Chain A
Amino acid sequence: MAEDGGPCVVAAVGQGGLCLIAVDAQAHALGLRPGEPLARARARIGTGIAVYPADPEADAAALERLCVWARRYTPTVAPFGAAEGGDGLFLNIAGASHLFGGEAGLIADLAERLAKNALPARLALADTPGCAFALARYGGARSRAPIVPPGGNAAVLRDLPVTALRLEPGIAASLRRLGLRRIGALAEAPRAPLARRFGQDLLTRLDQALGHRPEPLLALGEAPSFRATRGFLDPIGHQDVIVAVVRDLMGEVAPRLEAAGLGARALRLTLHRVDGHASTLDLGLSDPTRCPAQVGRLLDLRLDRLGRELDAGFGFETLRLDVTATGPIRPIQVRLVGGASAGQGIGRLADALRQRLGRRLGRPEFRESHIPERASAPRRWMPPDRAHPARRRAAEGPPCRPLILLRTGEAAQEVFSLAPDGPPQRFRWRLRLHRVAHAEGPERIAGEWWREDAPVRDYYRVEDEAGRRLWLYREGFHSANAAARWFVHGLFA
């Protein structure tokens, strides 16, 4: 909105320079319309227009935020796609309206909340998305949201222009030229010639609006089957209170999960702020659970980590807990002594660490490779029933692999060897001179030719006079012409 209260418009680069893509009420009253070149608008109106550059990404993000917010009414919320202009949203309120005192109550509540947030919106309620869209866009009176009674689609749509059917601009223009200006006329026209001339899309749109053909909505996220919501008269903002409420919500969900023999594997908490902003927190669990205390604790850890990142503003007015993924809970024989089994304890630890520090627990894992740096790497920890066991047993013989493996070989300088192809007598590495007291080797490890053309490495285990044990290798075969290149690759305990 312009600071001085004058008309304001949003412009973006279009055909032949900057064009208007959105205008506010004042600009609309002055006769400005989206699509008009900015220069012409300025010439007609004068310079008193505030012009803002378009930001489609921010628009899309704002629309998504609005969709998340609108989930308070129903889990199925779909943002407008490209055909609808991408500036609105569909709510499928089938089976949800009674929670808000019927359809009229829901629409009134929605209108009131949107108005409170200074979002001018046009609402319409109908049997089909197509009809609701047409009414909201071309329905005329703005004062009251039209509610179409069941089966009343055709009657309402009859007098609306054909553009209300979400048609491509070219098709709409051709239809107007043919004299088919109203949807009623289109519906009465013979279908076969229309399909031949304009393709199937036109009839699909018409049938969708009239309810002869279903229109699936591309809902944002999936509709979870287990959820609990709580609204507050006074907004809450304190961490302990939020955790206590979530524990209660989980307590509400738990019996339903139990009846289904399931446990929550992933949870989503949506926090609705007083000012209409909604933020979501996802909690993952390694073992399915129904335990409210465990969920509460994980959330507590997560909030600890988020700290000020989660802005409570003036407080949250509604908290909703959705179970987004479930898994079967197998009853576990609890030992009389010692409580939970070891695997469970580690699972809880993994969850707690993930919530508190945002990182995953790992375990060393082995791979089939002779190249030392490829042969082992930490891998994500998995619960015992899903884990792959580490394939290598503890060794019996003397250590032949270092305890610390450097990421890549680090070049050893000032290398001095007695024999040209023998191990070094002394070398400098990381600024320290190492005098070799004992060397064992070589252990030759060839590169993996099917991956890359890496030179052969000759590894030596070396102990220096101070007792430090290192793992060195010479790159490539010995050659009389080139100086040998030595690298330190690891440290033994």
Chain B
Amino acid sequence: MRSEDVVHAGAGREEALVALRARLQAPALNSVAGALPFGIADLDERLPTRGLALGSLHEIAPGAEGAEAAALGFTLALVARHLAAKPGEALLVVARGHPIPYGHGLADLGLDPGRLLLFEVETDTEVYRAVEEALRADGLAAVAGLVDAGLPLKQGRRLTLAAERTNPLLLILRPPGLDEANGAATRWRIEAAEAARDRFGALTRPRWRVRLDRCRNGRNGDWLLEWDNAAHRFDLAKTLARHAPAARAGHG
């Protein structure tokens, strides 16, 4: 009824069209209550919500076989960053094929283990059921599911619908390959990268090669990200020079 008002009341055709366009876009933007910014201008600009939209589904996959640990690290780093900014707890639902993250390793990555819940299940179906249930609960800031196979369209849509109400950070980590349309807002591909070194050549912060592969209403991109576990911050890695011993080992 309002749209008709606009059409009739509008002085010109152009004006009415502009108003209608604004109305068309409004729900899509209004449904997003917030976002988790990466804190990197170049990256955040490419995402329509200036960060990972809360309350919508994000898909993370390793870029290749062997990058599973890196992809899990990136997923949990996002959860840690979100938990640092928001109150509440995070839930990790793990299907049988995935290893359970190690408590001390989680703490080393900057996640407070006292705010992380673990739920082990057998199959992917059970993962989706548990995640859906978790999306209905109060008090959860982030929900991450680790599945054995690809993310099917039906499950993706269900999760997106369920997440709209409680607005948590929703991540699904799946194995490499098996790309299919699934209604996720973004798809990330993670590959291992050489860690940052201190001036003595010792490993310090983990780094990942992060590719934004698909992004609804946004642009794709490629970055080498560095995770600061103490400050819960992502940085663009400075890949200027390799440390001498590392360079030697690389050529040898």
Contacts and interface: CB of A to CB of B under 8 A. Distances in A.
Contacts of B106: 364, 403
A234 B56 CA distance: 46
Contacts of B91: 349, 361
18 contacts: A348-B138, A353-B130, A353-B133, A357-B126, A364-B113, A364-B118, A390-B103, A394-B111, A395-B230, A399-B229, A401-B108, A403-B106, A437-B250, A440-B203, A469-B206, A493-B73, A493-B76, A493-B105
A392 interface: yes
Contact of B249 (A340, A366, A438): A438
Nearest to A342: B139
A276 to B, nearest CB: 35
The 9 closest A-B pairs by CB, nearest first: A493-B73, A376-B103, A345-B139, A345-B138, A342-B139, A364-B103, A399-B108, A491-B69, A349-B137
Contacts of A357: 121, 126, 129-130
Contacts of A395: 107-108, 110, 229-230
Given A361-B117, A432-B66, 17 more contacts: A340-B138, A341-B139, A345-B137, A349-B91, A349-B133, A353-B130, A353-B133, A356-B130, A376-B104, A378-B120, A394-B229, A395-B229, A398-B203, A403-B108, A404-B102, A405-B105, A437-B194
Interface of A: 338-346, 348-349, 352-353, 356-357, 359, 361-366, 372, 375-378, 381, 389-390, 392-406, 432, 436-438, 440, 461, 463, 465-469, 490-493
Interface string B68-81: 11101110110010
A283 to B, nearest CB: 16
Contact of B137 (A346, A390, A406): A346
Contacts of A362: 117-120
Contact of A440 (B80, B191, B202): B202
Contacts of A399: 105, 108-109, 206, 229
B89 A346 contact: yes
Nearest to A396: B230
A392 B113 contact: yes
A353 B93 CA distance: 11
A432 B116 CA distance: 33
A339 B102 CA distance: 34
Interface residues on B, range: 35 or more
A364 B116 contact: yes
B207 interface: yes
Contacts of B218: none
A390 B113 contact: yes
Contact of A438 (B108, B136, B203): B203
B110 A394 contact: yes
Given A398-B203, A399-B105, A342 B88 contact: yes
A345 B103 contact: no
B134 interface: yes
B66 A468 contact: yes
A363 B91 CA distance: 9
Given A398-B203, A440-B202, A403 B246 contact: no
Contact of B193 (A346, A403, A404, A467): A467
Interface in B148-166: none
User: Which of A340, A393, A399 has the largest count of B CB atoms less than 10 A from its CB?
Assistant: A399
B140 A349 contact: yes
Given A362-B119, A463-B195, A466-B192, A402 B102 contact: yes
B27 interface: no
If over half of A's interface residues share one DSSP class (helix, strand or loop), that class is named, otherwise mixed; here it is: mixed
B114 interface: yes
B4 to A, nearest CB: 37
B177 interface: no
B213 interface: no
B203 A378 contact: no
Contact of A463 (B73, B118, B203): B203
A42 B87 CA distance: 80
Given A343-B139, A378-B100, A392-B107, A463 B194 contact: yes
A438 B16 CA distance: 64
A436 B207 CA distance: 17
Given A346-B89, A357-B126, A467-B192, A403 B140 contact: no
A395 B229 CA distance: 8
Contacts of B111: 394
B84 to A, nearest CB: 9
Contact of A436 (B121, B139, B195, B249): B249
Contacts of B126: 357
A95 B169 CA distance: 57
A397 B72 CA distance: 20
A342 B89 contact: yes
A186 to B, nearest CB: 64
B112 interface: yes
A136 to B, nearest CB: 50
B204 interface: yes
B119 A375 contact: no
Nearest to A461: B203
Most chain A beta-carbon neighbours within 10 Å: one of B88, B202, B203, B208: B203
B195 to A, nearest CB: 6
Contacts of A349: 91, 133-134, 137, 139-140
A493 B129 contact: no
A349 to B, nearest CB: 4
Contacts of B39: none
A390 to B, nearest CB: 4
Given A366-B113, A493-B206, A467 B133 contact: no
Given A346-B89, A437-B246, A467-B193, A389 B114 contact: yes
A294 B108 CA distance: 38
A406 B130 CA distance: 25
Given A339-B138, A362-B119, A395-B229, A356 B102 contact: no
A345 B140 CA distance: 8
B112 A394 contact: yes
Contacts of B134: 349, 353
B193 to A, nearest CB: 4
Contacts of A465: 250
B101 interface: yes
Contacts of B250: 437, 465
Given A346-B89, A466-B66, A392 B103 contact: yes
B99 A406 contact: yes
Nearest to A341: B139
A93 to B, nearest CB: 44
A356 B107 contact: no
Interface in B191-237: 191-195, 201-209, 227, 229-230
